[in-house]
């Protein structure tokens, strides 16, 4: 597993999206799950000639994606990815959405089914102020997790090690990892000092698909 380095800010998009884009090869097929307003797919189209498609539920975000010229399907991710064939894409992205999914293992398996590479990002519950907040008897409320315990959409919080253990149990081979605090990439003590983790993994289905 490698840890990437260069994260220069470009074109007004978030640093974690720049890092995700750096892991995607030019002229490939990309599916962005929970694509929001289509920022990442538009960036990949313009900079890397990527053939991209998005999945988004929110009406206004779907409209914003269409205005950017991004192909988008309006669908709830909890219903799975049955619309897509096995290995239909080269990469599939799930950015800052994993923690709000009810069926975490299912969506990761579906990502591994439809693409060779999966990329996920999520808030890091191991960020040290979170632990300090719990020691003081309070659930953490930070810039990365700004919600109160009773209205948060984040239902499955984890640390970097937790995700790595889950990936291993699902036979997902992690190839890259990056971690961020706000818009700055963290290189050392990532589990303690980062608020956001980003992982790239390879599907265990790829080798079998290639044989076919």
Q: What is the pLDDT of residue 5?
A: 40
* Dmax (CA) of the chain: 56
Q: What is the pLDDT of residue 47?
A: 97
The distance of Cα 46 from the centroid of its chain, to the nearest Å, equals 20
Domain 2-211 falls under CATH 3.40.50.150: yes
Can you tell me the distance from the alpha carbon of 56 to that of 74, in angstroms, rounded to the nearest whole number? 5
The parts of the chain modelled with pLDDT lower than 50 are: 2-9
Q: What is the pTM of this model?
A: 0.88
């Amino acid at each position: 597993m490698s840890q990437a380095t260069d994260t220069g800010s470009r074109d007004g998009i978030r640093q974690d999206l720049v890092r995700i884009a750096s892991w995607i090869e030019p002229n490939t097929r990309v599916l962005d799950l929970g694509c929001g307003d289509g920022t990442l797919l538009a960036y990949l189209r313009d900079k890397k000639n990527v053939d991209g498609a998005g999945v988004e539920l929110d009406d206004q975000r779907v409209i914003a994606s269409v205005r950017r010229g991004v192909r988008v399907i309006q669908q709830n991710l909890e219903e799975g990815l049955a619309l897509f064939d096995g290995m239909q894409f080269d990469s599939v992205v799930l950015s800052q959405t994993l923690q709000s999914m009810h069926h975490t293992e299912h969506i990761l398996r579906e990502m591994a089914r439809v693409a060779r590479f999966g990329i996920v990002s999520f808030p890091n519950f191991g960020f040290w102020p979170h632990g300090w907040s719990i020691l003081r008897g309070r659930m953490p409320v930070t810039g990365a997790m700004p919600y109160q315990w009773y209205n948060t959409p984040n239902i499955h919080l984890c640390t970097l090690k937790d995700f790595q253990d889950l990936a291993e149990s699902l036979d997902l081979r992690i190839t890259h990892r990056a971690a961020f605090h706000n818009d700055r990439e963290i290189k050392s003590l990532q589990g303690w000092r980062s608020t956001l983790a980003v992982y790239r993994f390879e599907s265990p289905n790829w080798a079998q698909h290639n044989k076919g």
